[in-house]
Structure 1
Amino acid sequence: MADIVTGQDEPVQPKAGLREVLVSLRQPKVAIAMVFGIATGMPPVMVGVTLGYWMREEGVALTAIGFMGWVGIFIATKFLWAPFVDWIRLPIIGKRLGHRRSWMLLGQIFVTVGILGMAFTGPSAGLAVFAGFAMLTSFAAATQDIAVDAWRIESALDEEQDLMASAYILGLRSGYFFGNVPILAASGIIGWQAAYAFASLGGLAGLSALLLAREPQKPRDFAPLTGIGSVGSALIRPLKVFWQDHGTGLFIFLPLVALFFLPDSLIVPMVGPLYIDLGFSTGEIAGMRTVIGFPATLGGVVAAGLIGMRLGTLTAMAIGVTLAGLSNLGFCMLALSGGSKLVWAAVTVVEGFSGGLAMAAIVAWASRLTNPIATAAQFALLSSLMSFLGGFLGGFAGLGVVALQGVTGSSMGGFAAYFSLSPFAIIPPLILIWMVRQRMKRMENAALP
Structure 2
Amino acid sequence: MTDGLELLNDKPRRSWAESARAFLHPKVLALLFLGFSAGVPLYLVFSTLSVWLREAGIERATIGFFSWAALAYGFKFVWSPLIDRLPVPVLARWLGRRRAWLLVAQAGIIGALSFMALTDPSGSETHLVAMALGAVGLAFCSATQDIVIDAYRIESADEDLQGLMSATYIAGYRLGMLVAGAGALELAGFLDHVQGYDYAAWRGTYFAMAGVMGIGILTTFVISEPPYVKPLGVVMDKGEDYLRFIVLFGLVAAAFAGGFIVMPDVSAGLTEPLGEALAGFVSGALRLSGALAAAVVAGVALVQLGLVAKDMAYETYVAPFADFFTRYGRTALVILALIMTYRISDIVMGVMANVFYLDLGFDKEQIGLISKGFGLGATIVGGFIGGLVTVRYGVMKTMWMGGILVVASNALFAVMVGVSPHIWVLMAVISADNLSGGISSAAFVAYLSGLTSKSFTATQYALFSSLMMLLPKLIAGYSGVAVDAFGYVAFFIGTALMGLVPLVLILVVAWKGRAALQR
Same fold (TM over 0.5): yes
Q: Which residue among 93, 97, 102 is the counterpart of 1:95?
A: 93
Residue 204 of structure 1 is matched in structure 2 by: 214
Going from structure 1 to structure 2, the CA distance change for 1:11 and 1:433 (only over 3 Å counts) comes to closer
Which residue matches 1:172?
A: 173
For structure 2, the 5+ residue unaligned runs are: 193-200, 245-307
Q: Does 1:307 align with 2:380?
A: no
Match of 1:236 among 315, 318, 321: 318
Structure 2 length normalisation: TM-score?
0.71
What amino acid sits opposite 1:172 in the alignment?
Answer: Y
Distance verdict in 2 for CA 1:235–1:209, change over 3 Å = same
Where structure 1 has 5 or more consecutive residues not aligned to the other structure, the ranges are: none
Amino acid in structure 2 at the alignment position of 1:175: G
- 2:513 maps to which residue? 440
Tell me by how many angstroms 1:200 deviates. Answer: 3.2
- Mark the CA change 1:8 to 1:262 in structure 2 (over 3 Å): closer, same or farther: closer
CA distance in 1, matches of 2:350, 2:508: 28
1:41 is matched with 39
Q: Which residue in the other structure is 1:223 paired with?
A: 236
1:53 and 1:276 in contact (8 A); partners too: no
| Partner amino acid, structure 2, of 1:103 | W
Q: Following superposition of structure 1 onto structure 2, how do residues 136-285 of structure 1 map, counting pairs within 5 Å?
A: 136-186=137-187, 189-190=190-191, 193=202, 195-220=205-230, 222-224=235-237, 225=241, 227-229=308-310, 230-271=312-353, 280-281=363-364, 284-285=366-367
C-alpha separation in 2, matches of 1:8 and 1:134: 44
Q: Give the 3-state SS of the residue equivalent to 1:368 in structure 2.
A: helix
Deviations 1:356-375 (A, max 9, x none): 11111011111111122111
In the alignment, which residue of structure 2 is the partner of 1:341? 423
What's the CA shift string for 1:250-309, capped at 9, x where partnerless?
Answer: 111112112222223324455556667766345x55532343122211221232134335
CA contact (8 A) 1:53 1:273 kept: no
Shift of 1:135: 2.8
State the identity as a percent. 28
Shift of 1:68: 5.6
Moved more, 103-112 or 353-362: 103-112
Task: Name whichever of 88-97 and 61-70 sits farther off.
Answer: 61-70
User: Which range is displaced more, 431-440 or 270-279?
Assistant: 270-279
Bigger CA radius of gyration: 2
Question: How far is 1:4 from its partner?
Answer: 4.7
TM-score (ref. length: structure 1): 0.80
Which sits farther off after the overlay, 427-436 or 250-259?
Answer: 427-436
Q: Is the 8 A contact 1:179 1:199 kept in 2?
A: yes
SS at match of 2:213: helix
Deviates more, 1:153-162 or 1:211-220: 153-162
Q: Distance in 2 between matches of 1:46 and 1:112?
A: 12
SS in 1 for 2:338: helix
Alpha-carbon offset, residue 232 of structure 1: 3.9
CA distance in 2, matches of 1:433, 1:380: 21
Maintained 8 Å contact 2:112/2:137 = yes
Shift of 1:106: 1.7
Aligned 8 A contact 1:62 1:402 in 2: no
In 2, Cα distance between equivalents of 1:328 and 1:134: 33
- 1:357-398 Cα distance to aligned partner (Å, 9 max, x none): 11110111111111221111111111121222223443x24x
Counterpart residue type for residue 14 of structure 1: R
1:41 and 1:174 in contact (8 A); partners too:
yes
Is the CA contact (8 Å cut-off) linking 2:155 and 2:226 kept in structure 1? yes
Return the alpha-carbon distance in structure 2 between the equivalents of residues 111 and 200 of structure 1: 8
CA contact (8 A) 1:56 1:276 kept: no
- Per the alignment, do residues 279 and 212 of structure 1 end up closer, same or farther by CA in structure 2, a change over 3 Å counting? same
Residue aligning to 1:373: 455
